[in-house]
Structure 1
Amino acid sequence: MNDQSSTINHFKRFYSHVNTANTVLQAYKGEAPFAHYIRSFFSQHKKFGSKDRKQITELCYCFYRLGKSYPQLSIEQKILKGYQLSKKEWPEEWLSFFEQYQLPKQTPENIFSFKDHLSESIDTAAFEQSHLLQPDLFLRIRPRQHKVVSEKLQSANINFIITENTVRLPNGSKIDEVLILNKEVVVQDYSSQRVSELLNIYKSKISHLKSVISIWDCCAASGGKSILAKDVLDDIKLTVSDIRSSILANLKKRFAEAGIKNYNSFVSDSTIAAPDQKFDLIIADVPCSGSGTWARTPEQLLFFQESRIAEYAKLQQNIISNVIKYLKPGGYLLYITCSVFAEENEEQTSNLTKQGLELIAESVLKGYDQQADTMFAALMRA
């Protein structure tokens, strides 16, 4: 087969993928996470191989990464424009292919439609443009596992970068076939790992204490922040809770893999949860808009409703108002969101200072310049 025929066949297959992506995008209405929807679609259409599924999914995400930019374009054109922007350089034949579709040359200007709500310290332009790329995969190396993790990744010929205890890999790397998850490494975004900075501030504040630290992780989910707290603070007495019994079952599995055995757990709504003790530290990684993670779930750029910001803020207020009643005198609250909205972040800590808590430290954990998520964390003292 000559080069010209190969190129024609290549674009013929690609165009077939674009057509399928177009069909999927027209059918999806945002009711469930797109990752769930596309898996269901492929389970009903068995003809697609793994490479086809990967390409079609990528094209759909390229469409969503443009947010509400280019309203004049068709779905097909937006797919192609998003795909064009997903790489900095293209071979000549691809440039000619894109040229056929008369794609706009101007930079997309309405990727993120909620700029008025952003925390003040965020670089709006850089944050908005970061949605054009899929974030990397990040792992946190657990204590005393650095050498074995490095050796295993090298032996498996996986491209990786290690900086201190953080491993950065291309998204989609099959690390569960190489490393023992939760024992050797924890899958945890770079910004989420940086919550350890506030845990270390807390550690320095209570360094004079001799007793075991009592911690309640009140929105524990699958336990990532609890494992982090264990690794940073070491000698802790841990209580975890979540409103979802199914996710606590996942937490128990992860804790077993992580070697965390002595802890209490209970199912409860954190707005009304009533543990039978008070704590030195409460970790509240609260439900939120997730707006700092939308580069991973870019369908939210189109389907998220602005009114939900206030709904999340109210829920967060209700959770915090309840859980701070279970702080010991002089105890600490570690408040965390994966949101970039001031209403969910600085405005919440401002409200807490009005309720008598002291703000020790707060930070927008910026990941948009690291191909990572963006989060918010604050440490406060009762």
Structure 2
Amino acid sequence: MFAAAHFQTALQLVQTYRGEVPFAHFLKAYFSQHKKHGSRDRKQISQCCYAFFRMGHAIPDIPPERRMLMGLFFSATEPNPLLEALSPEWNAAAGLALAEKIGLSGLTPEALTIFPWTNLLSDPIDSQAFSISHLVQPKLFIRIRPGHHEQVIHRLEEKWIPYTEPYPFAIALPNGYNAANDFSLNREIVVQDLSSQKTGAALKLIPRETYQQPSFRIWDACAASGGKSMLTLDQFPQATLTVSDIRNSILDNLATRFKEAGIRRYTRIEADLSVTAPDLPQQQLIIADLPCTGSGTWARTPEQLCFFDPAAIGRFAELQRSISRNILLRLASGGFFLYITCSAFRAENEDNVLWLQQHFPLEVVHQEVIGGYTEQADSMFFSLMRLT
């Protein structure tokens, strides 16, 4: 009885939602206004809503209730009480491979076009695997900061918390786990997606003669909440760091995290880098995790997949070029530019690197599409370039 009521509430919510705010905020506002929903109610309503969005652009013409039920079935990895109450037959088959589930639902694999813009993806991405990855919620990842690995692993095992270590100092944890209950955030560990951590591989390609010079200056140009800056300072603790972003409120959040991490020596600047670059000395390393469509992260926020306008790709690509053009004016000769996006679209990734090479004397040191969709993580792109 409760499951059917939660299902109907979720249907009303997804059909009312217009994509103007993140769905998590929309849902929070609804629950604040309707306090009758307890913890189980909220969990099941949220589960139904996100199952609906995880279907993306697949079979748009079917009734919304059928679409939501299919989303619950396809995204389930094992039987669960909600699916049992709504469709016992499908719940019994919840642990089957996706191909078998598709057959049971009466669909063909070709009909499951969750992500329709596969012709626009960066070349190394497996379009089918990437598309169906939106059915699965990505894992929670943390990065262990230097000097804390042994104690973090010991605490995880002491508390019987299931984990894997898919990459050095990267820990994958169950969704819903609150790391703040067991660890000192930003001092011992940093909550950071696996692919974001992997962009740090580019830092290991910076030659010793660059980072050991007395005035090794790093500018994290689109610093946001500071995750890349912390990763970089853990690699180059002696560097002189400048961070910037378009709003001071964002930098205030960064400052809080830096204080928790014990980072005191840095300069912060509020700047719209699409207009001009701040007056800075020449930098030996500039990092730009640029504004983008975020298409590599839509498995975390599948509502964005449903409401995406592909015209935004060109707008973001142009914005990325404008920002890069301005900040490169502050890169020292022989310095390194680390271009990063969390986009899966070629126009924001390889195409923009080619454009930059046509307008600046840049050579690519290493370039990579990080296919996080194979590891329940975000997908990202980075290119480390050197100004010749």
TM-score normalised by length of structure 1: 0.92
**For residues 187-223 of structure 1, what are the alpha-carbon distances to aligned partners after superposition, in whole Å with 9 as ceiling and x for unaligned?**
110000001110111245736x432420011111010
Give the Cα separation in 2 of the matches to 1:359 and 1:244.
31
Alignment of 1:1-382 (within 5 A): 12-90=1-79, 94-96=87-89, 103-107=105-109, 108-163=111-166, 164-203=168-207, 206=210, 209-271=212-274, 272-355=276-359, 356-382=361-387
Query: Which stretch shifts more, 26-35 or 152-161?
Result: 152-161
The one-character-per-residue Cα deviations of 1:211-251 (angstroms, maximum 9, x if unpaired) are 24200111110101000000122221000010011110000
Q: CA RMSD in A?
A: 1.8
TM-fit CA distance, 1:119: 0.3
| Cα distance, 1:103 vs structure 2 | 4.5
The whole-number CA distance in structure 1 between the counterparts of 2:366 and 2:91 is: 48
Specify every segment of 5 or more residues in structure 2 that has no aligned partner in the other structure, as ranges: 93-103
Does structure 1 conserve the Cα–Cα contact (< 8 Å) formed by 2:210 and 2:284? no
- In 2, distance between residues paired with 1:247 and 1:58? 30
User: 1:70 & 1:95 partners in 2: Cα distance?
Assistant: 23
Deviation at 1:51, TM superposition (A): 1.9
Aligned length: 368
Q: Partner of 1:277: helix, strand, or coil?
A: coil
Task: Report deviation, 1:353.
Answer: 1.1
Please tell me whether the aligned partners of residues 162 and 168 of structure 1 are also in contact (alpha carbons under 8 angstroms).
yes
Following superposition, the deviation at residue 278 of structure 1 comes to 1.2
CA offsets, 1:7-34, max 9 Å, x none? xxxxx22111111100101110000111
Distance of 2:126 and 2:208 partners within structure 1: 31
- Structure 1 residue 97 displacement after superposition: 6.2
Question: Unpaired runs of 5+ in structure 1?
Answer: 1-11
Q: Residue 192 of structure 1 contacts residue 375 of structure 1 at CA under 8 Å; is this kept in 2?
A: yes
Alpha-carbon distance in 2 for matches of 1:206, 1:278:
13
Letter aligned with residue 65 of structure 1:
R
Structure 1 residue 87: deviation in Å? 2.0
Aligned-pair identity (%):
44
* Residue 96 of structure 2: aligned partner: none
CA distance, structure 2, for counterparts of residue 54 and residue 203 of structure 1: 50
Distance 1:74 1:98 in 2: 20
**2 CA distance for matches of 1:224 and 1:341?**
23
Given that 1:203 and 1:233 are in contact with CA atoms closer than 8 Å, whether structure 2 keeps it comes out as no
Q: Mean Cα displacement is larger for which, 105-114 or 86-95? A: 86-95
TM-score, normalisation: structure 2:
0.91
